[in-house]
Structure 1
């Protein structure tokens, strides 16, 4: 008889080398059945839960890696003294965790994250350019900002990830979250000029920001003139680039639709209401990402143990629990994904 630990180890090993866009739960189960030469039909639920745990730990590690990369970029901009200071002051999170003595179940869950971390750390580092910095690309690439957005960020060019950080800093600094529903942002005059509405949902904000974030041309020249109008030549480039990006998005979505771990699932009414975007279908990783965004932006992690989440009224209404472990978000979400009939 194959033990749960053997199944979990093989499952994680398989997922770590698989394309999650096309790999399904059935693929994983069939792979395990082949490897161990047994029938696992009666353990479908267990396998699905372990896949969910892997996906959540995979997301958390990716988030940590992104944050670390951003911090390293900021430190390199500040000079070597900042790097030295950082090295001296930082503690190894793994060493801190080893000092604690969590319960058995927590140890297993922490091990899931640790294994993904170890595999992630084995990946080759990003290529560096001549100056020694990691070449910026994707969401870390500098972009031009609209005049309205510049009023909040204070600069004309910024990476998308940094724009979102500064937006939340502005919102928190000016106490613009709706006290009765922290998913809602009450717009002041500056945000009203930016978004054109009196209130906006936190999950709608990123989409609304896209029209205010423009790519720089290949020479790093801003597509915005000093007067705030868009340069006609640069505008054509920008529009073409946006069209290319927009045309790529449907292809990516079509490729991922109804396939793998990123297949869209029908959402419960409670989850639709929580997200507030009107979307009735989303992939499991996408929903997990948004839940974590809500948790982090509203400071719901227990300061004494960040693995523990303390529900506010809105999260309590969704999950019906006062507290839960962060690694258990996917399990709590399971009742909010509705299986298609037939």
Structure 2
């Protein structure tokens, strides 16, 4: 007989080497059945709970690593700042002399530079024309590539679209889905995908894309096609139908979200409202909203995935 601990160890190992966008609970169960030579049909619920615990653990580890990296970056910046402050006084006089010598030359050169040249810039700072889709998202027709990337990350962080399991992965909301045509995208793919939306100012491609835009919207808004796409979505990062009670609790009006995003928002709520028991951080003390949702006074943190299971509906 196979022990639960053996199943859990193999499950975590398998998930660690799998693509969570395409892997499903059924795939995990079949893999475990092959590895151990047993039928696990009656252990579906157990496997789902262990998958949820894995996703929760990955999210918490990612948060800890991000915080640790931030602390290290802050410390490095502090050291560099102190080193710079120490050397500034020694270099100040020498820098002043160099500035005086360059003043005449730079003054002459500046007369030859017109305002239009300054505006255009060059290299990575060169202003480009944006595709209609990117223009709609950012709200401007022209922007330098570096600024586009910066604004994209501002948008992603404001909308909380980073996958809690893997911060490099972006979970696309409706505007990003319209832009990239995918449900999720990693940061490296995003930079590549942006290239076709950042075009030279005189590009004919932009005009062509503008003509195609109405037809594209018609295709995107086809309800039958949209339903077909939703049917094909699988994996742990696929959106799930939420119960009315969970929709009310989240308060965003969204009735479909990925399991990972719901778990993340639940923990965000718990931490923001300081609901962890100070004597035992693993224990959560329910406020009125959580009591209404879960119908319990308290629960252990590792059971939050089990409590949420009833609020993910089968479509």
TM-score band, normalised by shorter chain: 0.5 to 0.7
Residues 22 and 256 in structure 1, CA contact (< 8 A), matched pair in contact too: no
> What CA deviation, in whole Å up to 9, does each residue of 1:238-282 have, x standing for no partner?
579759966555413479972110111111100000111111111
Deviation of 1:78 after TM superposition, in Å, equals 2.1
Question: 1:32-51 CA distances to partner (integer Å, 9 max, x unpaired)?
Answer: 01011111111111111111
**Equivalence for 1:70:** 70
Compared with structure 1, are the counterparts of its residues 235 and 335 closer, same or farther at alpha carbon in structure 2 (3 Å cutoff)? same
RMSD: 3.4
* 2:189 equivalent to 1:258: no
Residue in 2 that maps onto 1:274: 249
> What corresponds to 1:329 in structure 2?
304
In the alignment, is the contact (CA less than 8 A) between 1:257 and 1:264 conserved in 2? no
Structure 1 residue runs without a partner (length 5+): 83-216, 222-229
Counterparts of residues 32-71 of structure 1 (less than 5 Å)? 32-71=32-71
Distance 2:124 2:297 in 1: 51
**TM-score for both structures, normalised by structure 2:** 0.55
Q: Secondary structure at the match of 1:71?
A: helix
Q: For 1:234 and 1:268, how far apart are their aligned partners in 2?
A: 42
Secondary structure, aligned partner of 1:307: strand
Question: Closer, same or farther in 2 for the Cα pair 1:236/1:218, shift >3 Å?
Answer: closer
The answer for the alignment partner of 1:26 in structure 2 is: 26
Residue 233 (structure 1) shift: 5.3
For the Cα contact (< 8 Å) 2:126–2:144, is it kept in 1? no
Deviates more, 1:284-293 or 1:255-264: 255-264
Partner SS for 2:182: helix
Deviation at 1:305, TM superposition (A): 2.0
How many angstroms apart in 2 are the aligned matches of 1:323 and 1:5? 27
For the Cα contact (< 8 Å) 1:21–1:256, is it kept in 2? no
- Aligned residues of 1:300 and 1:311 also touching (Cα < 8 A): yes
Secondary structure of the residue aligned to 1:261 is: coil
Partner of 1:302: 277
* Aligned-residue offset at 1:81: 11
Cα 1:305–1:258 change in 2 (3 A) is same
Closer, same or farther in 2 for the Cα pair 1:255/1:65, shift >3 Å? farther
Q: Return the offset for 1:295.
A: 1.0
> How do 1:1-342 residues align onto structure 2 when only pairs under 5 Å count?
1-79=1-79, 218-219=124-125, 234=143, 247-253=178-184, 258-340=233-315
State how far apart, in whole Å, the 1-side matches of 2:183 and 2:45 are.
29
Separation in 1, partners of 2:280, 2:17: 31
Question: What is the distance in 2 between the residues matched to 1:233 and 1:35?
Answer: 55
Q: CA-to-partner distance for each residue in 1:265-307, whole Å, 9 max, x for gaps?
A: 1111000001111111111101001111111111112222221
Q: Which has the higher helix share?
A: 2
Equivalent residue for 1:146? none
- Residue 260 of structure 1: SS of its match in structure 2? coil
SS in 2 for 1:279: coil
Q: Is the 8 A contact 1:270 1:318 kept in 2?
A: yes
